């Protein structure tokens, strides 16, 4: 094992990078679904539900992701819940995503002018039809750039999963460094690999934003 | 003639400000009523109370035999009977003209496929925009957008149409096309209540004119009333409008 950096190590990093993508996708898809429910609850007509979910969002947003991760991984472990690292990291990130995406999307829904809702309701559409056919399609256009932007954050945040021993990109780099002692090289490569994942997303987000601004100007 | 809309001693406040202070009037089937008055006199609020976009504090409003202020009102049934067109068009920007028009008939009345398409065509013919069926709102002029908004309302076959200063956001050269559509509707027998700043139009198209002042119906009469105002307030208002 000892000796310089080799192709074998590079494959090991790539494998870690694969798990980073898997973890991000998992957190994003499941967290996105939960975030959608958070958004619906935040705009619900029931004040009690709105307040309850507001408290949830505040707690999650006010807690470092690492703490959420520890609570899920070690905390639930005490109750005898078997927690594979992938599952613990996925669940923590999902909770994190649900709160942030819920709030981002609520903002986008509320950015659709009230007059649109009014016009739809004046045409005898129900509240749900109004949301689905009139508000959400417009909110989705507004939401795309910040959502992609948030995806970049999530991708980088998956590195925290390394502390519970989940071998994603960061953990893989640590493991290699422990035997090769070339931190600049190895973490440098890991950084580049993160960059290779995030940069296209950033570009995409900016392109979406530009397109949105153009269509705004025409409207 | 049957009464379609009837307001009786309607009071409406926003917080401490009383905006409608005992408004009463009736509109019969086929009648065209113009509401005029200074900014802030409560014209829009009166219209918005008729289809319960706003709730009233006291008095009663009856639309097509329904009590609008009743707690058990079937709001969606009311909204099917009452069409409303706003100053700012409020078309759905992500939908084409046709989709804008057929959305409500599809969802509310379960109109489908070819029938929905025919409905859109008919409504667009009424406003003279058949060639714009596939356009998006942002590709249309203000006047055209407003005519689509009228078509969208018409497609639900309302029993009464409310218009709130529908030409106020338009350039002068575009108001004509919208007013012509409204006059055609009026001639076709549609029951209409329209808030307007176009005095010439009110005089020409309306069977009756209601002048509102400080939240009350101050003066009412035929279009000729605009030529011989009885109250100093209306006289003053007309002098400033011209
Ligand atoms: N949602 C609201 N909340 C508080 N005050 C309101 C609200 N809507 C209207 N008002 C107030 O009620 C009064 C009457 O408003 P309304 O819009 O009915 O007047 P209007 O006659 O339509 O005037 P304009 O010609 O400018 O459209 C105004 O003083 C306005 O500020
Ligand atoms: Mg008004």
pTM of the shown model: 0.90
Question: With 90 as the cut, is the pLDDT of residue A4 above it?
Answer: no
Would you place residue A177 in the very low, low, confident or very high pLDDT band (cuts 50, 70, 90)? very high
Q: Which residues line ligand 1 (CB under 6 A)?
A: B 14, 19, 37, 39-45
Q: Which of residues 29-58 of A touch B (CB under 8 A)?
A: none
Mean of all residue pLDDT scores within chain A: 92
Residues of chain B predicted below pLDDT 50: none
Q: pLDDT value at position A219?
A: 44
pLDDT digits (tens, 9 = 90+) for A80-107: 877 889 999 999 999 999 999 999 999 9
Nearest CA in chain B to A129: B107
Question: With 90 as the cut, is the pLDDT of residue A44 above it?
Answer: yes
Q: In three state form, how does the secondary structure of chain B look?
A: CCEEEEEEEEEEEECCEEEEEEEEEEEECCCEEEEEECCCCCHHHHHHHHCCCCCCCEEEEEECCEECCCCCCCHHHHHHHEEEECCCCCCCCCCCHHHHHHHHHHHHHCCCHHHHHHHHHHHHHHCCCHHHCCCCHHHCCHHHHHHHHHHHHHCCCCCEEEEECCCCCCCHHHHHHHHHHHHHHHHCCCEEEEECCCHHHHHHHCCEEEEEECCEEEEEECHHHHCCCCCHHHHHHHHHHC
Q: Where are the domains of chain A?
A: 7-218
Fold of A7-218: MetI-like fold (1.10.3720)
Q: B42 C-alpha to center of ligand 1: Å? A: 6
What is the interface pTM, i.e. ipTM, of the complex?
0.92
Ligand 1 atom at shortest distance from the alpha carbon of B197: 25
């Amino acid at each position: 094992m000892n000796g310089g950096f080799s192709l074998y190590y590079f494959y090991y990093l790539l494998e870690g990078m694969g798990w980073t993508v898997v973890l991000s996708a998992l957190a994003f898809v499941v967290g996105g679904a939960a975030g959608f429910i958070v958004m619906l609850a935040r705009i619900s007509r029931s004040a009690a539900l709105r307040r309850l979910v507001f408290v949830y969002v505040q707690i999650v947003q006010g807690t470092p992701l690492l703490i959420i991760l520890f609570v899920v991984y070690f905390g639930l472990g005490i109750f005898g819940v078997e927690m594979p690292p992938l599952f613990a990291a996925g669940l923590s990130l999902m909770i994190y995503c649900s709160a942030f995406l819920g709030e981002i999307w609520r903002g986008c829904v509320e950015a659709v002018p009230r007059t649109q809702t009014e016009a739809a309701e004046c045409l005898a559409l129900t509240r749900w039809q109004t949301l689905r056919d009139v508000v959400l399609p417009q909110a989705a256009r507004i939401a795309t750039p910040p959502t992609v932007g948030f995806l970049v954050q999530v991708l980088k945040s998956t590195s925290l999963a390394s502390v519970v021993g989940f071998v994603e990109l960061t953990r893989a780099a640590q493991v290699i460094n422990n035997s090769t002692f070339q931190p600049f090289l190895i973490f440098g490569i890991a950084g580049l690999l993160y960059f290779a994942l995030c940069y296209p997303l950033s570009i995409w987000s900016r392109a979406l934003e530009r397109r949105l601004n153009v269509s705004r100007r025409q409207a | 003639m049957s009464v379609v809309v009837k307001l009786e001693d309607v009071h409406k406040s926003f917080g401490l400000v009383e905006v409608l202070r005992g408004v009463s009037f009736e509109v019969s089937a086929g009648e065209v009523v113009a509401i005029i008055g200074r900014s802030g006199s409560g014209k829009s609020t009166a219209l918005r109370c008729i289809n319960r976009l706003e709730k009233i504090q006291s008095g009663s409003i009856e639309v097509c035999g329904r009590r609008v202020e009743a707690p058990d009102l079937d709001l969606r049934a009311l909204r099917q009977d009452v069409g409303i067109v706003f100053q700012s068009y409020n078309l759905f920007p992500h939908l084409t003209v046709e989709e804008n028009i057929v959305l409500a008939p599809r969802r509310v009345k379960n109109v489908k496929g070819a029938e929905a398409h025919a409905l859109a065509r008919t409504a667009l013919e009424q406003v003279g925009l058949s060639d714009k069926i596939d356009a998006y709102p942002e590709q249309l002029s203000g006047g055209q957008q407003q005519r689509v908004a009228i078509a969208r309302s018409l497609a639900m076959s309302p029993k009464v149409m409310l218009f709130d200063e529908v030409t106020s956001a338009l350039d002068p050269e575009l108001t004509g096309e919208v007013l012509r559509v409204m006059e055609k509707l009026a001639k076709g027998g549609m029951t209409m209540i329209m808030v307007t700043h176009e005095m010439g139009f009110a005089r020409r198209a309306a069977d009756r004119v209601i002048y509102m002042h400080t939240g009350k119906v101050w003066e009412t009469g035929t279009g000729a009333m605009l030529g011989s105002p009885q109250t100093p307030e209306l006289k003053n208002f007309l002098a400033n409008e011209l």
